Amino acid sequence: MKYEIMLKDIDLIEEKLNFNKERCITFFGSARFSSDNKYSQSAYKLAKKLADKKFTIITGGGGGIMEAANKGAFEAGHGKSIGINAILPNEQEVNQYVNNGMVFSTMALRKVALTKNSESFVIFPGGYGTLDELFEIFVLVQSHKIKAKIFLFGTEFWTSLIDFLKTSLLENETIKEEELEIFKLSDDIEYIYEEIIKD
């Protein structure tokens, strides 16, 4: 039964994720932030600016950061607003600003769909799910499975994690120093926007 579910999810990826000619950006972040949260507002503004440049905005399709980014893309009216959701017990109703959505039964293939087409990833503060997605992207870039820009938004939030990477992983030689250069940390949506569009 699980095998059949996975096959359905694979078919969904092939059927709906044909974005070869589009420039896609994936936003990750907490589903629990309100719309007036400072991170949600930044996600909205950045997604809207990118959608105005006809980028396709991809999120997990839920609330919080995801809804804010989808809303920015939706209101720009130029780019697609994609929501790639999963069947979960909490937090995962598809938000109203998704104009092209899909729901996966398995988290593993949902992550494939979230990463398959994107040239850049913007990771806002979040919980376990966001960290799972963040490290998935780290590994894909580190192992040269994908080539993408990674931006961590929220210096105050992410600094302690970066310190941990330096003091625990780097000092114990489980990662190399250049592997800390695969991402950029910023609180400036203008900087991230310019970095994304310049290529």
- How far is it, in rounded angstroms, from Cα 59 to Cα 40? 13
Predicted TM-score of the model (pTM): 0.91
User: In the chain, where does DSSP find H-type helix?
Assistant: 2-16, 38-52, 65-76, 107-115, 128-142, 155-164, 189-197
CB-based contacts of 57, cutoff 8 Å, min separation 6: 24, 25, 27, 47, 50, 51, 69, 70, 72, 73, 79, 80, 81, 82
CATH of the domain at 9: 3.40.50.450
pLDDT in tens, the chain (199 residues): 455 665 566 666 666 666 556 899 999 999 999 999 999 999 999 999 999 999 999 999 999 999 999 999 999 987 789 999 887 666 567 899 999 888 887 788 889 889 988 999 999 999 999 999 999 999 999 999 999 999 999 999 999 999 999 999 999 999 999 999 999 999 999 999 999 999 7
21: containing domain: 2-197
> Pick from 20, 6, 3: which is nearest to 111 by CA?
6
- Look at the chain and report how many structural domains it folds into: 1
